[in-house]
Amino acid sequence: MNLIAPKHVLDYCIIDEHDEVFKELKHSLEDDFSYVYKVRCNCGNTKFLVYSDAHPSVYAKCSLCHKMIALYDLSYYPSAVKLDKKYSLEKVQKDAVQVYVNYEYDDEYLTEDDVDFDVNDITWAKVFINENGNIKKILDDETA
Ligand SMILES: [Zn+2]
pLDDT (tens digit per residue) in 116-142: 789 999 999 999 999 988 999 999 999
Task: Using the mean position of ligand 1's atoms as its centre, give its distance from the Cα of residue 115 in Å.
Answer: 36
**Is 29 in contact with 37 (CB distance < 8 Å)?**
no
Task: Using the mean position of ligand 1's atoms as its centre, give its distance from the Cα of residue 46 in Å.
Answer: 8
What pLDDT is attached to residue 1?
A: 65
* Nearest of 81, 103, 107 to residue 6 by alpha carbon: 103
Q: Buried b vs exposed e over 29-58: b needs ≥16 C-beta within 10 Å?
A: beeebbbbbbbbbeeeebbbbbbbeebbbb
Phi/psi for 27 (5° steps) reads -60, -40
Task: Using the mean position of ligand 1's atoms as its centre, give its distance from the Cα of residue 51 in Å.
Answer: 16
What pLDDT is attached to residue 107?
A: 81
Task: Using the mean position of ligand 1's atoms as its centre, give its distance from the Cα of residue 39 in Å.
Answer: 11
Task: Using the mean position of ligand 1's atoms as its centre, give its distance from the Cα of residue 130 in Å.
Answer: 18
Triad 46, 138, 142: Cα angle to 5°? 115
Answering whether pTM is above 0.75, one says: yes
Task: Using the mean position of ligand 1's atoms as its centre, give its distance from the Cα of residue 99 in Å.
Answer: 13
**Is 124 in contact with 95 (CB distance < 8 Å)?**
no
Task: Using the mean position of ligand 1's atoms as its centre, give its distance from the Cα of residue 16 in Å.
Answer: 17
pLDDT band at 69 (very low <50, low <70, confident <90, very high): very high
The pLDDT of residue 110 is above 80: no
Task: Using the mean position of ligand 1's atoms as its centre, give its distance from the Cα of residue 121 in Å.
Answer: 27
Mean pLDDT computed over every residue of the chain: 94
Helix residue spans in the chain (DSSP H): 7-10, 20-29, 108-111
* Nearest of 31, 59, 25, 18 to residue 136 by alpha carbon: 25
Task: Using the mean position of ligand 1's atoms as its centre, give its distance from the Cα of residue 107 in Å.
Answer: 34
Note the pLDDT tens digit of each residue in 27-68: 999 999 999 999 999 999 999 999 999 999 999 999 999 999
Task: Using the mean position of ligand 1's atoms as its centre, give its distance from the Cα of residue 116 in Å.
Answer: 33
